[in-house]
Amino acid sequence: MAEIVAKTNDSTMTVKEYLDMSDLNKHAKELQVLNHVGNDVLKKLTDHASVESFIDGLYNAKTADLSNKEYEAIAEAQSQGKSYQLKFNLKDGTYMGMYIIPELKVVSMGDAYYHLPDTFFEQSGDLFSGLKQEVLPLY
Protein backbone atom coordinates (compact mmCIF):
# COMPACT_ATOMS: atom_id res chain seq x y z
CA MET A 1 0.00 0.00 0.00
CA ALA A 2 1.29 3.48 -0.80
CA GLU A 3 0.11 7.01 -0.22
CA ILE A 4 0.13 9.26 -3.28
CA VAL A 5 1.59 12.58 -2.17
CA ALA A 6 2.56 14.32 -5.41
CA LYS A 7 2.39 14.18 -9.21
CA THR A 8 5.15 12.80 -11.40
CA ASN A 9 5.22 16.02 -13.44
CA ASP A 10 6.25 17.92 -10.27
CA SER A 11 3.04 19.96 -10.15
CA THR A 12 1.30 20.42 -6.82
CA MET A 13 -1.82 18.39 -6.06
CA THR A 14 -4.85 20.44 -5.13
CA VAL A 15 -6.42 19.79 -1.75
CA LYS A 16 -9.46 18.40 -3.54
CA GLU A 17 -7.33 15.89 -5.48
CA TYR A 18 -5.46 14.84 -2.36
CA LEU A 19 -8.55 14.40 -0.17
CA ASP A 20 -10.73 12.88 -2.90
CA MET A 21 -8.11 10.24 -3.75
CA SER A 22 -7.89 9.20 -0.13
CA ASP A 23 -11.69 9.32 0.32
CA LEU A 24 -10.84 10.53 3.81
CA ASN A 25 -14.43 11.48 4.72
CA LYS A 26 -15.51 7.89 4.14
CA HIS A 27 -12.57 6.16 5.83
CA ALA A 28 -11.71 8.36 8.84
CA LYS A 29 -13.07 7.19 12.17
CA GLU A 30 -11.33 9.70 14.46
CA LEU A 31 -8.92 12.62 14.45
CA GLN A 32 -6.10 13.04 16.92
CA VAL A 33 -4.10 16.22 17.35
CA LEU A 34 -0.58 15.20 18.34
CA ASN A 35 2.52 17.12 19.25
CA HIS A 36 4.78 17.78 16.25
CA VAL A 37 6.84 14.64 16.83
CA GLY A 38 3.69 12.54 17.02
CA ASN A 39 4.25 10.78 20.33
CA ASP A 40 1.74 12.65 22.52
CA VAL A 41 -2.04 12.92 21.90
CA LEU A 42 -3.11 16.45 22.85
CA LYS A 43 -6.77 16.35 21.74
CA LYS A 44 -9.10 13.93 20.02
CA LEU A 45 -12.27 14.09 17.89
CA THR A 46 -14.20 10.82 17.87
CA ASP A 47 -17.65 11.99 16.77
CA HIS A 48 -17.93 11.11 13.05
CA ALA A 49 -19.91 14.26 12.22
CA SER A 50 -17.21 16.45 13.82
CA VAL A 51 -14.41 14.60 12.01
CA GLU A 52 -16.29 14.90 8.73
CA SER A 53 -16.88 18.63 9.30
CA PHE A 54 -13.16 19.12 9.99
CA ILE A 55 -12.25 17.30 6.76
CA ASP A 56 -14.83 19.34 4.82
CA GLY A 57 -13.14 22.48 6.15
CA LEU A 58 -9.79 21.32 4.78
CA TYR A 59 -11.26 21.40 1.26
CA ASN A 60 -11.22 25.22 1.46
CA ALA A 61 -7.41 25.34 1.71
CA LYS A 62 -5.55 26.85 -1.23
CA THR A 63 -2.20 25.76 -2.58
CA ALA A 64 0.55 27.89 -1.05
CA ASP A 65 3.37 29.29 -3.14
CA LEU A 66 5.64 30.03 -0.19
CA SER A 67 8.45 32.56 -0.12
CA ASN A 68 11.74 31.93 1.67
CA LYS A 69 10.49 34.16 4.49
CA GLU A 70 7.35 32.00 4.86
CA TYR A 71 9.45 28.80 4.93
CA GLU A 72 11.56 30.41 7.66
CA ALA A 73 8.38 31.26 9.61
CA ILE A 74 7.26 27.62 9.32
CA ALA A 75 10.63 26.36 10.59
CA GLU A 76 10.52 28.84 13.45
CA ALA A 77 6.97 27.82 14.40
CA GLN A 78 7.98 24.15 14.34
CA SER A 79 10.97 24.79 16.60
CA GLN A 80 8.83 26.84 19.01
CA GLY A 81 6.20 24.13 19.52
CA LYS A 82 3.50 25.75 17.36
CA SER A 83 3.23 22.92 14.81
CA TYR A 84 0.95 19.94 15.37
CA GLN A 85 0.50 16.61 13.70
CA LEU A 86 -3.02 15.65 12.60
CA LYS A 87 -3.56 11.90 12.65
CA PHE A 88 -6.71 10.59 10.99
CA ASN A 89 -7.22 7.04 12.25
CA LEU A 90 -8.93 5.05 9.52
CA LYS A 91 -11.46 2.25 9.79
CA ASP A 92 -8.99 -0.32 8.39
CA GLY A 93 -6.49 0.28 11.23
CA THR A 94 -4.15 2.53 9.24
CA TYR A 95 -3.89 6.29 9.46
CA MET A 96 -3.29 9.37 7.36
CA GLY A 97 -1.22 12.20 8.74
CA MET A 98 -0.56 15.84 8.03
CA TYR A 99 0.88 18.83 9.88
CA ILE A 100 -0.83 22.08 10.80
CA ILE A 101 0.43 25.39 12.15
CA PRO A 102 -2.71 27.24 13.30
CA GLU A 103 -0.83 30.49 14.00
CA LEU A 104 0.32 30.67 10.35
CA LYS A 105 -2.90 29.15 8.96
CA VAL A 106 -0.85 26.57 7.08
CA VAL A 107 -1.41 22.84 6.64
CA SER A 108 1.01 20.38 5.07
CA MET A 109 -0.54 17.47 3.14
CA GLY A 110 1.64 15.07 1.23
CA ASP A 111 4.45 17.04 -0.38
CA ALA A 112 2.80 20.46 -0.38
CA TYR A 113 1.73 23.33 1.86
CA TYR A 114 -1.73 24.90 1.76
CA HIS A 115 -3.17 28.10 3.27
CA LEU A 116 -6.32 27.65 5.35
CA PRO A 117 -8.98 30.38 5.37
CA ASP A 118 -10.12 32.15 8.54
CA THR A 119 -13.45 30.32 8.32
CA PHE A 120 -11.65 27.00 8.89
CA PHE A 121 -10.38 28.21 12.26
CA GLU A 122 -13.71 29.82 13.14
CA GLN A 123 -15.31 26.39 12.71
CA SER A 124 -12.58 24.27 14.30
CA GLY A 125 -10.55 26.77 16.35
CA ASP A 126 -11.54 25.23 19.68
CA LEU A 127 -9.67 22.10 18.68
CA PHE A 128 -6.42 24.09 18.73
CA SER A 129 -7.05 26.29 21.77
CA GLY A 130 -5.04 25.59 24.89
CA LEU A 131 -2.66 23.11 23.27
CA LYS A 132 0.75 22.86 24.92
CA GLN A 133 3.79 20.92 23.84
CA GLU A 134 7.46 20.97 24.66
CA VAL A 135 9.68 22.98 22.37
CA LEU A 136 11.72 20.73 20.08
CA PRO A 137 15.36 20.34 21.10
CA LEU A 138 17.95 22.04 18.90
CA TYR A 139 20.66 19.83 17.47
Choose among 50, 116, 19, 36: nearest CA to 81. Answer: 36
pTM over 0.75: yes
Amino acid at 136: L
Q: What is the pLDDT of residues 101-124, one digit of tens each?
A: 999 999 999 889 999 999 999 998
The CA distances from residue 31 to 35, 65, 66, 89, 111, in Å, are: 13, 27, 27, 6, 20
Residue 100, CA atoms < 13 Å, CB-side half-sphere: 23
Q: Where is 120: in which H helix or E strand?
A: helix 118-124
Residue 116, CA atoms < 13 Å, CB-side half-sphere: 24
d(CA 65, CA 74): 13
CB 40 within 8 A of CB 84: no
- Asked if pLDDT for residue 8 goes beyond 90, the answer is no
Sign of CA dihedral 56, 91, 5, 115: positive
The CA distances from residue 65 to 12, 37, 52, 56, in Å, are: 10, 25, 27, 22
Domain ranges for the chain, please list them: 15-120
pLDDT given for residue 3 in this prediction: 58
How would residue 96 be classed by pLDDT, with cut points 50, 70 and 90?
very high
Q: What percent of the chain has pLDDT over 70?
A: 91
How would residue 55 be classed by pLDDT, with cut points 50, 70 and 90?
very high
d(CA 69, CA 26): 37
